[in-house]
Structure 1
Amino acid sequence: MTAAECGTLPVLIAPSSGEQELWPHLGSSLSLNCTLRFIDSCNATLTWLKNGNPAPEVYREQSFWNSLNSSERFLTSILNVNLTTEEDYGNFTCQLQTVNASFTLHKSDKAGHIAAVLFALCVLAILVVGTILYIKCRLNVRLWYRDKYADLEINDGRLFDAYVSFCPSNIDTKFTNFILKPHLENRYGYKLHLDERNLLPNTEPSAELLMNVSRCRRLIVILSLAYLEQEWCQNSFRNGLLRLLELSRRPIFILFENQYKELPTEVTQLLNSQRGLLKMLLWKADSVSPASDFWKELRLVLPRKMSLSEGRGDPQLQNQDDRDPMLTVNSETADPDPDGDLGVRRTFYKAPPPRMAPVRQVENRENAADVDISDLGSRNYSARADYYCLVTEPDL
């Protein structure tokens, strides 16, 4: 049958692209559909070829039907292919006159899917391990970054790293003097100022409290049940907390896990509502370990420490331009208990200080001229304005 017998060449309907590439698995079966449309009425037979040779007719299905327009006719031929061996793969072509469509069957590699599944499992395992490492090591990473790149809080005229307020009860005193103070001072070199008196006994903070807090870079409150039984806490804990937030930047509250459930509901709700302005740490049974998260989180909110070689003094005050005895390491007012083993400043622990012999008057007044006072005007007192009271002549 020639083109003249049918009038015009047939039009390929399926496959629309004329060429298809498929990757079926070995052992599967598929049907190759080839559909054409004739403009004029004619009889036509479609030929299937495999790799240029006629395909077996046992797998071929062919049907005709007419459209609503009697001048058009459709031919559909389906070739069923069973991929039992590797020889069943190849190039299949349906051909009618000069119109043809090809189907190329490639062998699908099952290992590709296995590799994709293994890759997905590896990615999932990496994400899980990364999440676990982040949970376990995030504090260590943050501490390393802080110690490496955080700013040093020096030249601020402050003598202590933290002001610790606690209630003089048996539990709070032992925790502060025998756990908190020795660990921070002996292990990490922090300097703490302990105060067991009421932090805010009156409606307004006292001048002594303001001076002591201003000498410390952080404020730590041991918030226990005994601490909350103080008068200022029982009257208005909300007002007291607001005043504490004014005294110190992001104060640190340490709570005991075994007492947390017994705390008043309004206290815990108020602390949780102010989490952005304060830091809450929970002391647990396993927090006593030096590697616990409690100490890591506490160090993150304390100032960064700068270590110097032994004998060079306090690194936080190393760059001060003043030789005031108030800031020297070997001052008479130095900490009498630097190891922090007791931490309690009471007279019955130590013998009274020896009496000082009266200073004899200088017989030769000319020796007074040996004291050099020429640099008094050049000294820098701006960083320590909180404990210098300048008195002007009208105040006398």
Structure 2
Amino acid sequence: MAGTECGLPLNLISPPTVEQELWLHLGSIVPLNCTLQVPGSCNGNVTWLKDGKAVEHLYTSQDSVWNGFNSSVKFLSSVLDVNLTTEDDYGKFTCQLQNVSASFTLHKSAQAGHIAAVVLALCLFAVLVIGIVLYIKCRLNLNLWYRDKYGEPELNDGRLFDACVSFCPSNIDTKFTNFILKPQLENRYGYKLHLDERSLLPSTEPSAELLMNVSRSRRLIVVLSMAYLEQEWCQNNFRDGFFRLLELSQTPIFILFENQYKDLPAEVIHLLNSQKGTLKTMLWKADSVSPASEFWKELRLALPRKISLSNGQGDPQTQCQDDKDPMLTLNSEASDLDPDGDLGVRRTFYKAPPPRIAPVARVPDREPTADVDISDLGSRNYSARSDYYCLVTEPDL
């Protein structure tokens, strides 16, 4: 655009530098502002060039003029609107007036990769889903591993059993307790159970036998079946008996059968759900028979942690007890004179020779009599320390 000559000085106000680098996306509209301070007598116009050529009518410009604080200076402004519709719209745009010029170089900016962002989001979502699935599948194994490695064992508490199992002597409950629950916990995991098929609360108050059995056990397991609920104390006042059980045992375990759950009274289900923080409810399903099922893992988590000791160390419950009972002697290795059996020693107590005994006349028609009376072996109790008890013959003394 032509214009009259302007006197000096000419000052560039916008852009702040004579060289501007801009990176823009295709489809953007950018206004290029070129403002100069000129003498008040100047009537010239700002000229726009693209790559050294006049822009002509390809782009529209808005020119404006305003005076300064006094009539000696005024401002000329020209704003060129560039619509980046094609790659040809990129280039170097220059505004100039006489010997003063400023340039705007427009570069094409790479479009933001939405595909990469979507792929990253999907990967994060997949990792989150996999983590949740693995936690649901392996949470019990992780909890068991942590409990067995870092959990506190319940030792030296004077308890004889890990759990007291209360069940109804019905056909189904008896088979479940004796042929599934007891073998799995005792033979596979080493727990010691006390089975009680009698009524827990024959009256409004707990019996002395109930108190003794529960006090000797670290947990109370109740096989809560339909037959169990048909007991007299359950039918008369199950609510009071239920809360008495919560007072007697710490975190009792209630085992329910899935095929009987829908037939349970609403009061029983409501009481079990209202006390979830003080008891453990477990559901026996058709797939719970497998040793790897969640039922056994949850049951093991509810039971005390078991300690596996090497042979010869004795019962861990008596490791730190000052019990003088020879059946519970702490030093089992020194006390057990016959580790291979309990029907007589195979070495003498002392190095001194045994006392002489008059020879016994032989009776040819009779079998030799045994030196040890074993008639009462069947009534003796070896449960406390089976590796200690031994019989000593009179000659060895």
Settle same-fold status: TM greater than 0.5.
yes
1:79 and 2:78 correspond: no
Q: Please, which of 33, 36, 42 is the counterpart of residue 35 of structure 1?
A: 33
Contact persistence 1:59–1:81 (CA under 8 A): no
| Cα distance per residue 1:109-163 (max 9 Å; x no partner) | 66x5433332222111111110110110011001100001000100111110001
| Cα distance per residue 1:179-230 (max 9 Å; x no partner) | 0000000000000011001111111112221111111001110011111111
Give the alignment's Cα RMSD to 1 decimal. 3.6
| Cα distance per residue 1:244-292 (max 9 Å; x no partner) | 1111111100000000000001110111010001010000000000000
Secondary structure, counterpart of 1:253 in structure 2? strand
| Cα distance per residue 1:58-78 (max 9 Å; x no partner) | 6422233678x9x87753212
Contact persistence 1:89–1:107 (CA under 8 A): no
The whole-number CA distance in structure 2 between the counterparts of 1:181 and 1:84 is 81
Amino acid at match of 1:309: S
1:108 and 2:110 correspond: yes
Q: Where in structure 2 are the equivalents of 1:82-161 lying within 5 Å?
A: 82-84=85-87, 92-97=92-97, 98=100, 100=102, 102-108=104-110, 112-161=113-162
**Which residue number corresponds to residue 63 of structure 1?**
62
- Structure 1's 282 and 8: CA in aligned 2 closer, same or farther, altered over 3 A? same
The whole-number CA distance in structure 1 between the counterparts of 2:376 and 2:291 is 43
Secondary structure, counterpart of 2:84 in structure 1? strand
The whole-number CA distance in structure 2 between the counterparts of 1:237 and 1:99 is 98
- Structure 1's 178 and 55: CA in aligned 2 closer, same or farther, altered over 3 A? farther
Structure 1: runs of 5+ lacking an equivalent: 331-352, 358-396
Q: Where in structure 2 are the equivalents of 1:259-270 lying within 5 Å?
A: 259-270=260-271
**Which residue number corresponds to residue 242 of structure 1?**
243
The whole-number CA distance in structure 2 between the counterparts of 1:179 and 1:164 is 13
**Which residue number corresponds to residue 274 of structure 2?**
273
**Which residue number corresponds to residue 307 of structure 1?**
308
Shift of 1:326: 6.8
| Cα distance per residue 1:74-105 (max 9 Å; x no partner) | 532122334448xx756x44434447463542
Amino acid at match of 1:239: D
Structure 1 range deviating more: 32-41 or 209-218: 32-41
Contact persistence 1:306–1:316 (CA under 8 A): no
**Which residue number corresponds to residue 333 of structure 1?**
none
Amino acid at match of 1:33: P
- Structure 1's 302 and 48: CA in aligned 2 closer, same or farther, altered over 3 A? farther
The whole-number CA distance in structure 1 between the counterparts of 2:103 and 2:267 is 80
The whole-number CA distance in structure 2 between the counterparts of 1:356 and 1:139 is 45
The whole-number CA distance in structure 2 between the counterparts of 1:265 and 1:326 is 50
- Structure 1's 233 and 354: CA in aligned 2 closer, same or farther, altered over 3 A? farther
Contact persistence 2:4–2:43 (CA under 8 A): no
Instruction: Please state which structure has a larger fraction of its residues in helix.
Output: 1
The whole-number CA distance in structure 2 between the counterparts of 1:145 and 1:29 is 59
**Which residue number corresponds to residue 251 of structure 1?**
252
Contact persistence 1:152–1:304 (CA under 8 A): yes
TM-score norm. by structure 1 comes to 0.71
Secondary structure, counterpart of 2:104 in structure 1? strand
Amino acid at match of 2:62: S
Q: Where in structure 2 are the equivalents of 1:362-381 lying within 5 Å?
A: none
Contact persistence 2:46–2:77 (CA under 8 A): no
The whole-number CA distance in structure 1 between the counterparts of 2:145 and 2:171 is 36
Aligned residues: 324
**Which residue number corresponds to residue 203 of structure 1?**
204
TM-score norm. by structure 2 comes to 0.71
Secondary structure, counterpart of 2:141 in structure 1? helix
- Structure 1's 311 and 15: CA in aligned 2 closer, same or farther, altered over 3 A? same
Bigger relative contact order, structure 1 or 2 (CA pairs below 8 A, ≥6 apart): 1
Contact persistence 1:15–1:101 (CA under 8 A): no
- Structure 1's 64 and 233: CA in aligned 2 closer, same or farther, altered over 3 A? same
| Cα distance per residue 1:324-373 (max 9 Å; x no partner) | 3675899xxxxxxxxxxxxxxxxxxxxxx96689xxxxxxxxxxxxxxxx
Shift of 1:31: 2.9
